[in-house]
């Protein structure tokens, strides 16, 4: 296990800025593009970095939740008398205690009551909350609550949930909310269909009619848990006519909007503050426990902290399990003629973000290929299991496992090299993957070459198998983002924006962009983020969008600040004199240079004041086309298989981070290594398992094993920077790409090593062993 750090391929230097304007060709201003140390380094190695659970308030109470033991049941009655009388208990809260609260939330489909309202739809759903002076007392009181349930028939499997006689989870459809990015109707062909997305073009029947080769199969991607090491934690306080919630959330502004709706408050009266966050990976997207924590605080009339355990976090959000049935038609030369697929997601008891995951899975199943005819139907299906939502990759890992497995299956059938088959089908730079989409902003053929060279393609050791797989995600979500750049009278800069530092390094990268754009020393830039009362709007921290989209907003804000400062300099310092010339970090008037601080002081007339630069981003100009950018994945893998035990040994992984321009190459590379290992976990071992009764069997970290030190192969992370993204200096997003192709790459490499085709992840030793025995019996 070792990594060469910040390796940028030298041959790519010549490709940098191959197209685009002169500004893009010029090197970015330092510290943009430099591997500077993380801004949060000192705080995180000294224990000073504060997360929600580290914060407190005067009079803070602690909450625990009583959860349903049934997968599906009517709640007949809840008796809280004894619990409420328990010494030290401040409040016991059920849905019945919240007549003044709008209980149901959900950004795509509003179907999720913040606490069970007459019915429970999965084992582990919160039924009552206890607020007490301390956690131990709250825990004791939980045992004193008497709940009478009337069990209902339940369903845990997505295919079973689609049967005509299946138990129905939601008697009426949840209110569909105007959430752009998810435009499907909730056409309830079956009441357990949470959403149905279709991506289709071309004549699919004609394509399959003239195919030389058709590959067909069903691929299963596991129900996985993100395991952000900090479990969901929130602290809520009603004060001064408003509500303040401190929470471990990726999208504070989205949480604010849901809280305002639940509690009937104007947006301006709701403040959501996000301190350091202990991992997200999508699992802290959108609203989680914040409305319930606030409801508990409302009834307790005291500030309340709700800190979930890891076991409870697993029951709060997981990834969508997928069954992808797909067939792909090729002509004799290996060109794709058409792809026809059905994706069924097990999305759990509530919609959460699964409708968008289903939509994205449909968009991403085509991969980065030219496909003349496509038909993908993607269903998010309700089941009596923990709700599924965003998880790093967002439909792409599920779809790419199927799509990229089929590329290698087809190559074998056609007698073609698997990379050559891909080259014949890859989108060219500038070519839109579907009508009205942005042109493809990458050169994946070059990435494939790079991966092949680094992996030593075609030179696998005896007993080893290699594979290289690619992926494409329509990424970036919505380009709705604002930023504020303040320049103080000493010339230092405060950057304020709503992007959340979840570990990905946004606090560092965004400060680098601000420092580079303002021409000031990085040490003089300070970053204030994710406090909806203090910083301006950002729609989300997800979909790999922050560097690209918030980066553009910061550039705009910096330009706005500089333009104002140049005007002030002319007005104050040279009212009748020569024209002000902008320089790095200030202005030149004649032969004198004034830094920005001097301009501020001159304009206000004394050592005070500041300039406020504003940046706005929307679907307009460079970000008018959707998606804002494509996120690419390109992963090479070398494996061997133990024939006796079925254990797959992954020896080496190569990742190509096709990020356009790495604002901080060290952090870009770090994202890829982390993503690839996360992908490895789901490909090899991770899977949440439900029993027939609807109980989660392995909902804890003993039984749900994530990768550890000894699981890590030799890693070779490379960056490709061709300045071909829409973001600052040609940047585009990263952080998911290296995860998406991992399962397919392992399956394809195992096929070459051992002659077995794995279509169900994770590839546990048992599954591999069975496949080996089946191979031997053929």
Q: Segment 105-124, which members bind another protein (CB under 8 A)?
A: none
User: Is 521 or 711 the residue whose CB approaches another protein more closely?
Assistant: 711
Q: State the DSSP string of 436-492.
A: TSPPP---HHHHHHHHHHHHTTT-PPTTEEEEEEEEEEEES----EEEEEEEETTS-
**In the set 14, 21, 22, 46, which binds another protein (CB under 8 A)?**
46
Q: Give the torsion sign (CA, 35, 36, 42, 43).
A: negative
User: Is 588 or 666 the residue whose CB approaches another protein more closely?
Assistant: 666
Token digits for 522?
A: 């990085």
Task: Kindly give, in sequence order, each residue whose CB lies less than 8 Å from that of residue 280, ignoring residues fewer than 6 positions away.
Answer: 226, 228, 250, 500, 502, 503, 541
Torsion of CA 433, 435, 437, 438, to 10 degrees: 80
Kindly write out the interface string for residues 22-41 of this chain, putting x where it contacts another protein by CB under 8 A and - elsewhere. Answer: ---------------xx-xx
Q: How far is CA 185 from the centre of its chain?
A: 24
Q: How far is the CB of 52 from another protein (least distance, A)?
A: 11
Q: Segment 268-297, which members bind another protein (CB under 8 A)?
A: 276-281
Among 589, 496, 506, 586, smallest CA distance to 541 is for: 506
Q: What share of the chain is helix, strand, coil (3-state, %, to 5)?
A: 30, 25, 45
Task: Kindly give, in sequence order, each residue whose CB lies less than 8 Å from that of residue 663, ignoring residues fewer than 6 positions away.
Answer: 28, 32, 33, 509, 512, 513, 547, 551, 728, 729, 731
Residue in the block written with tokens 């999720």: 112
Among 550, 508, 469, smallest CA distance to 738 is for: 469
**In the set 473, 504, 540, 623, which binds another protein (CB under 8 A)?**
504
User: Is 35 or 372 the residue whose CB approaches another protein more closely?
Assistant: 35
- Is 587:594 a contact under the CB 8 Å cutoff? yes
Q: How far is the CB of 659 from another protein (least distance, A)?
A: 16
Residue in the block written with tokens 């169900």: 760
User: Is 45 or 607 the residue whose CB approaches another protein more closely?
Assistant: 45
Q: Taking contact as CB under 8 A, which single stretch among the options 94-102, 119-127, 531-539, 663-671 is the one that binds another protein?
A: 663-671
Among 459, 474, 468, smallest CA distance to 637 is for: 468
Q: Taking contact as CB under 8 A, which single stretch among the options 43-51, 291-299, 400-408, 747-755 is the one that binds another protein?
A: 43-51
Q: How far is the CB of 667 from another protein (least distance, A)?
A: 6
Residue 401 binding another protein, by CB under 8 A: no
Residue 700 binding another protein, by CB under 8 A: yes
Burial level of 377, CB count in 10 A (0-12/13-18/19+)? Answer: middle
Residue 43 binding another protein, by CB under 8 A: yes
Among 623, 630, 617, 635, smallest CA distance to 660 is for: 630
Q: Segment 707-726, which members bind another protein (CB under 8 A)?
A: 707-710, 712, 715
Residue 44 binding another protein, by CB under 8 A: yes
Helix (H, G, I), strand (E, B) or coil at 61: strand
Q: How far is the CB of 669 from another protein (least distance, A)?
A: 9
Instruction: Indicate the helix (H) or strand (E) that contains 299.
Output: helix 290-300
Kindly write out the interface string for residues 292-331 of this chain, putting x where it contacts another protein by CB under 8 A and - elsewhere. Answer: -----------------xx---------------------
Residue 454 binding another protein, by CB under 8 A: no
User: Is 410 or 635 the residue whose CB approaches another protein more closely?
Assistant: 635
Helix (H, G, I), strand (E, B) or coil at 611: strand
The crossing angle, in degrees rounded to 10, of helices 596-604 and 551-573 is: 50
User: Is 41 or 590 the residue whose CB approaches another protein more closely?
Assistant: 41
User: Is 148 or 700 the residue whose CB approaches another protein more closely?
Assistant: 700
Kindly write out the interface string for residues 206-245 of this chain, putting x where it contacts another protein by CB under 8 A and - elsewhere. Answer: --------------------xxxxxx--------------
Token digits for 90?
A: 């401040």
Residue 58 binding another protein, by CB under 8 A: no
**In the set 505, 519, 728, 730, which binds another protein (CB under 8 A)?**
505
Q: How far is the CB of 709 from another protein (least distance, A)?
A: 4
User: Is 53 or 412 the residue whose CB approaches another protein more closely?
Assistant: 53
Q: Taking contact as CB under 8 A, which single stretch among the options 74-82, 452-460, 688-696, 699-707 is the one that binds another protein?
A: 699-707
User: Is 234 or 310 the residue whose CB approaches another protein more closely?
Assistant: 310
Alpha-carbon distance of 505 to 501, in angstroms, equals: 6
**Count of CB atoms situated within 10 Å of the CB of 170:** 18
Give the strand pairing for 61-67 and 304-307.
parallel
Task: Kindly give, in sequence order, each residue whose CB lies less than 8 Å from that of residue 21, ignoring residues fewer than 6 positions away.
Answer: none
- Is 496:536 a contact under the CB 8 Å cutoff? yes
User: Is 280 or 491 the residue whose CB approaches another protein more closely?
Assistant: 280
Q: How far is the CB of 550 from another protein (least distance, A)?
A: 18
Number of residues that bind another protein (CB under 8 A): 63
Q: Taking contact as CB under 8 A, which single stretch among the options 354-362, 394-402, 441-449, 499-507 is the one that binds another protein?
A: 499-507
Q: How far is the CB of 323 from another protein (least distance, A)?
A: 26
φ/ψ (deg, to 5) at 594: -120, 125
User: Is 231 or 733 the residue whose CB approaches another protein more closely?
Assistant: 231
Q: Taking contact as CB under 8 A, which single stretch among the options 133-141, 159-167, 257-265, 297-305 is the one that binds another protein?
A: 133-141
User: Is 86 or 524 the residue whose CB approaches another protein more closely?
Assistant: 86
**In the set 329, 467, 502, 535, which binds another protein (CB under 8 A)?**
502
User: Is 69 or 279 the residue whose CB approaches another protein more closely?
Assistant: 279
Q: How far is the CB of 716 from another protein (least distance, A)?
A: 10
Q: How far is the CB of 671 from another protein (least distance, A)?
A: 8
Residue 371 binding another protein, by CB under 8 A: no
**In the set 79, 117, 133, 449, which binds another protein (CB under 8 A)?**
133
Cα Rg, the chain, nearest whole Å: 27
User: Is 248 or 347 the residue whose CB approaches another protein more closely?
Assistant: 248
φ/ψ (deg, to 5) at 490: -100, 10
* Residues of this chain that bind another protein (CB under 8 A): 1-3, 5, 37-38, 40-51, 53-54, 87-88, 133-134, 136-137, 226-231, 276-281, 309-310, 502-505, 666-667, 670, 673-678, 700-702, 706-710, 712, 715
């Amino acid at each position: 296990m070792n990594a060469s750090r910040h390796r940028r391929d030298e041959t790519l230097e010549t490709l940098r800025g191959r197209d685009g304007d002169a500004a893009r060709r010029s090197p970015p201003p330092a510290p943009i593009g430099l591997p500077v140390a993380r801004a949060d380094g000192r705080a995180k190695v000294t224990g000073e970095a504060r997360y929600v659970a580290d914060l407190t308030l005067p009079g803070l109470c602690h909450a625990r939740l009583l959860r349903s033991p049934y997968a599906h049941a009517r709640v007949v009655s809840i008796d809280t008398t004894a619990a409420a009388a328990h010494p030290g208990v401040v409040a016991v809260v059920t849905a019945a205690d919240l007549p003044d609260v709008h209980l149901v939330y959900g950004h795509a489909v509003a179907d999720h009551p913040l606490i069970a309202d007459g019915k429970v739809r999965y084992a582990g759903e919160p039924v009552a909350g206890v607020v007490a002076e301390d956690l131990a007392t709250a825990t004791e009181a939980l045992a004193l609550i008497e709940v009478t349930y009337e069990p209902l028939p339940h369903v845990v499997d997505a295919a079973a949930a689609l049967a005509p006689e299946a138990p129905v989870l939601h008697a009426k459809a949840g209110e569909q909310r105007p959430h752009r990015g998810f435009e499907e109707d909730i056409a309830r062909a079956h009441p357990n269909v949470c959403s149905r997305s279709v991506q289709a073009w071309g004549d699919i029947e004609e394509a399959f009619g003239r195919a030389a080769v058709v590959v067909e199969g069903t691929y299963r991607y596991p129900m996985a848990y993100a395991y952000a090491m900090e479990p969901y934690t929130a602290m809520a306080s009603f004060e001064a006519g408003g509500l303040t919630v401190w929470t471990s959330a990726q999208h504070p502004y989205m949480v604010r909007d849901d809280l305002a709706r639940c509690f009937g408050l104007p947006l301006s009266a709701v403040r959501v503050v996000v301190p350091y966050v202990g991992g997200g990976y999508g699992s802290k997207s959108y609203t989680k426990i914040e409305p319930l924590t606030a409801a508990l605080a409302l009834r307790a009339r005291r500030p309340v902290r709700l800190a979930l355990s890891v076991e409870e976090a697993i029951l709060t959000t997981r990834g969508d399990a997928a069954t992808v049935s797909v067939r792909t038609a090729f002509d004799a030369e290996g060109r794709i003629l058409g792809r026809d697929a059905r994706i069924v997601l097990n999305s759990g008891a509530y919609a959460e973000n699964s409708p968008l995951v289903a939509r994205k899975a449909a968009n991403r199943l085509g991969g980065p290929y030219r496909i003349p005819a496509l038909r993908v139907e993607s269903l998010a299906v309700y089941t009596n299991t923990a709700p599924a939502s965003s998880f790093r990759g967002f439909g792409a890992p599920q779809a790419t496992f199927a799509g990229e497995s089929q590329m290698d299956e087809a190559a074998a059938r056609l007698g073609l090299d698997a990379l050559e088959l891909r080259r014949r089908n890859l989108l060219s730079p500038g070519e839109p993957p579907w009508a009205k989409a942005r042109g493809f902003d990458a050169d994946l053929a070059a990435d494939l070459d790079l991966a092949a060279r680094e992996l030593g393609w075609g030179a696998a050791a005896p007993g080893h198998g290699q594979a290289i797989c690619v992926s494409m995600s329509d990424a970036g979500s919505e380009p709705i983002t604002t930023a504020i750049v303040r320049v103080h009278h000493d010339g230092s800069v405060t950057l304020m924006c709503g992007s959340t530092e979840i570990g990905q390094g946004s606090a560092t990268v965004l400060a680098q962009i601000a420092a580079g754009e303002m021409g000031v020393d990085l040490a003089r830039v300070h970053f204030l983020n994710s406090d909806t009362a203090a910083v301006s709007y950002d729609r989300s921290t997800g979909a790999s969008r922050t560097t690209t989209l918030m980066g553009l907003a910061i550039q705009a804000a910096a330009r706005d600040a500089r333009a104002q400062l140049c005007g002030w300099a002319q007005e104050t310092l040279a009212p009748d004199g020569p024209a002000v010339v902008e320089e790095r970090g200030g202005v030149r008037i004649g032969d004198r240079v004034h830094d920005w601080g001097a301009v501020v002081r001159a304009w206000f007339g004394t050592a005070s004041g500041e300039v406020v630069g504003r940046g706005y981003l929307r679907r307009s100009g460079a970000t008018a086309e959707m998606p804002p950018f494509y996120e690419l994945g390109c992963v090479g893998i070398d494996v061997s298989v133990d024939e006796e035990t079925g254990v797959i040994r992954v020896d080496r992984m190569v990742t190509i981070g096709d990020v356009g321009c790495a604002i901080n190459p060290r952090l870009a590379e770090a994202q890829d290594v982390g993503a690839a290992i996360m992908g490895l976990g789901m490909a090899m071992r991770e899977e949440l398992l439900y029993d027939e009764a609807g109980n989660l069997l392995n909902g804890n970290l003993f039984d749900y094993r994530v990768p550890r030190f000894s699981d890590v192969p030799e890693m070779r992370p490379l960056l490709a920077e061709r300045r071909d993204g829409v973001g600052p200096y040609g940047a585009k997003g990263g952080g998911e790409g290296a995860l998406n192709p991992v399962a397919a790459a392992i399956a394809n490499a195992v096929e070459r090593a051992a002659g077995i085709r794995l279509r169900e992840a994770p590839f546990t030793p048992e599954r591999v062993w069975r496949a080996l025995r089946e191979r031997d019996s053929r």
